[in-house]
Structure 1
């Protein structure tokens, strides 16, 4: 069996894989991307955060997204709206503490991911679709992958470095026994696309709408409008609320829960579901390490928190933007401290998001965002985090997220 040689092999052609491949290719490295699916393919995570635009522009991937946004149904996005038991609030991401883009898109991920991958290919990146990594041998001396191609034939690829951007496939965590339980409870999400037919003067299609269940505040819904009149709609539920129900009846569960919130029921009263509902269960994940000899994990292949603040794609792109220059230096023979320069640097923002996700489910953050009297300066700091700028340590709610949020929640709860 002939072995092929590359500087870097990337597992997965999603946003993290395409971005890392683009940056490394621009640096003159011979890069191979192995993707087990054929694009376009379904993926969840459709509401981007403005911080993502910085990374896409850095890799030369943003122009094609902006140029084709309208024809692909991508919706301009400038913030997030929240609803709970008749109370509404919203965040305008252009009114934030951290400099940088304040707008982005709500995207159909199959088309968004294909646009990024196609652009990387146009730049010269080699992507092999329907090639699945079956095994790996990685040591301080070498990294070798065994790959199954579209004809059912296996071959081997040697690389100086391997990046796992396989998302929920989590290829290297499985093969190298790196997986560990997440800190977050197991939850189920049920979702589908609709012709939403929303006819409401106060509904803002430029924002994702996050709705809290009127009785159970640990249950929440997303409504992500697209520019072609369709929308992604879903509900996230602790399985304790689903006891005795057949979880394979996804349409019934989704429609049943949508009917339980008066505001959503009103907004979607004319909506037509256009695809069968899907289910994802137990999606939160973690690993013992984000890196090792000659490999690193990107995005969801490392840790996935929760979909509530749409942080997944931003974390994935941030991980790719962080790792690419470090791999460049490593391949050039320089000393790289992957613990400090990659793992800790990435986790700084991930941990900030984690603080707010935990506070969402224990309702501290809900009490903050639905509080009737909001300080403009504090709101801009919170808006920055919700816009994805969770690595800006000049923001006190990033640098001391747990302490600051606790104090703020106590103030809101006592007033």
Structure 2
């Protein structure tokens, strides 16, 4: 009888251990490798694997280029994206991301994340990054330098000794769980139901170069995403507070089809669509933490804070946090003293809180009034467009610097009754 044998894996010493090989992990690993640091990435899953967050923002392209991955992404055949379209009760408006206030790329891609994330990880590997797929972080000891306890798929454990740990584990939120950092989000709990479809859309009015965000005709805090891909497929999903979805009956697929058919534009566009992937749901996804970083670890992207999918900010925040954390970490590894609160957490949260302003205003209706306002001032629209394109850290933009006050001023103007 054959006995199962496990082979002990040697402990390893690195400068930086990264948990997770998604966009923030791959970008951070690439940047650190460029700077000559010893890095290992521990990834629980094998790629390709499904993920949502498929409509990138132009701001992402800066970090992709910084990591030496732009050529690979440009040549991958992803769906070109130049803006966002919004639809509600017969009203339709668009934001062209090339017509924005902030300098920087104005176009990007809409991607099936399984392919996109694998491309970034493979490119990082080609640059010399070691990624250990199918390995799981079980424990962390911060008594001295960080020490991770990792288990491989055969059940063997080993230690990774590092000078610093970056948590890029996304919704896995490894360090927040292990270090008890999790904190309730300030946003109400919401649920999403989503899938991929073969869309077969023939309507010439449909712009495949933009994400389409549609608002439910009766409930302004129920909204849908429709994200076209380059292969005659789309990602389709609906987001709402759970009580608004409880009236739906049947399977997840039946629930999703029922609520899609309540929105006339989507019903018309998707008459010939076929679901090609099992429907899935994500509940209570908004998250927060008590600490984003210390001199031993930093949380990147969704591992630290996730707001809401409405403006596709997740991957942008992930990549922005990776770039900012690596800039601080490179200095620390070279002997400089870093104040992680003032040099990483606070600057990162400036942009996150700008997005938060617009997420909250979307659900309470204020930002929807601005989006669908017909007599928009072009300069103001360019400033808001910059935020929708991901440039939420541009302190030269008044709508970033004073996001709440500026937005409320515009809301009042948009809500003023027209004088006959």
TM-score range, shorter chain: over 0.9
Corresponding residue of 2:207 = 204
Aligned to 1:36: 44
1:185 corresponds to: 188
**1:90 corresponding residue in structure 2:** 94
Give 1:334-373 correspondences, 5 Å limit: 334-373=336-375
Give the drift of 1:161.
Answer: 0.3
Per-residue CA deviation, residues 272-315 of structure 1 (Å, 9 max, x unaligned), is 11111110011100000101241000000000000000000000
Q: For residue 395 of structure 2, what is the aligned residue in structure 1?
A: 393
SS of 1:291's partner is coil
**2:126 aligned to which of 112, 119, 122:** 122
Does the 8 A contact of 1:13 with 1:117 survive in 2? Answer: yes
Alpha-carbon contact 1:50-1:387 (below 8 Å) kept? yes
- In the TM superposition, residue 319 of structure 1 has moved relative to its aligned partner by 0.2
Contact kept? 2:295, 2:340, Cα under 8 Å: no
Q: Corresponding residue for 1:260? A: 262
Q: How much does 1:245 deviate?
A: 5.0
Distance in 1 of aligned mates of 2:123 and 2:280: 29
SS of the residue 2:218 aligns to: coil
Give the Cα–Cα distance (whole angstroms) in 2 for the partners of residues 245 and 47 of structure 1: 27
Deviation at 1:59, TM superposition (A): 0.8
What's the CA shift for 1:253?
A: 1.1
Partner of 2:306: 304
Q: Contact between 2:248 and 2:258, CA under 8 Å: does it hold in 1?
A: no
Q: Is the 8 A contact 1:138 1:293 kept in 2?
A: no
State the SS of the aligned residue for 1:292: coil
Matched residues in 2 for 1:26 and 1:307: separation? Answer: 31
Give the whole-Å Cα distance in 1 for the aligned partners of 2:240 and 2:104: 34
Match of 1:135 among 135, 139, 151: 139
- The 1:79–1:407 alpha-carbon spacing in structure 2 relative to 1, beyond 3 Å, is same
- Is 1:53 aligned with 2:82? no
CA distance in 1, matches of 2:23, 2:292: 18
How far did 1:244 drift? 5.6
Shift of 1:395: 0.6
CA distance in 2, matches of 1:359, 1:331: 41
- Distance of 1:340 and 1:110 partners within structure 2: 35
Q: What is residue 316 of structure 1 aligned with on the other side?
A: 318
CA distance in 1, matches of 2:84, 2:99: 12
Per the alignment, in what secondary structure is the counterpart of residue 195 of structure 2? strand
User: Given that residues 41 and 110 in structure 1 are in contact (C-alpha distance below 8 angstroms), is that contact kept between their aligned partners in structure 2?
Assistant: yes
CA distance in 1, matches of 2:167, 2:263: 40
Mapping of residues 92-171 of structure 1, within 5 Å: 92-139=96-143, 141-171=144-174
Q: Does 1:239 align with 2:242?
A: yes
Partner Cα separation in structure 2 for residue 137 and residue 336 of structure 1: 21
2: CA distance between counterparts of 1:341 and 1:133?
27
Residues 218 and 237 in structure 1, CA contact (< 8 A), matched pair in contact too: yes
3-state SS of 1:90 partner:
strand
| TM-score, length of structure 2 as denominator length | 0.96
Partner of 1:249: 251
Unaligned runs of 5+ in 1: none
Q: Which moved more, 1:248-257 or 1:356-365?
A: 248-257
Which residue number in structure 2 is paired with residue 278 of structure 1? Answer: 280
Any idea what the Cα deviations from partners look like across 1:131-155, whole Å, max 9, x if unmatched?
Answer: 000011013x310000010211111
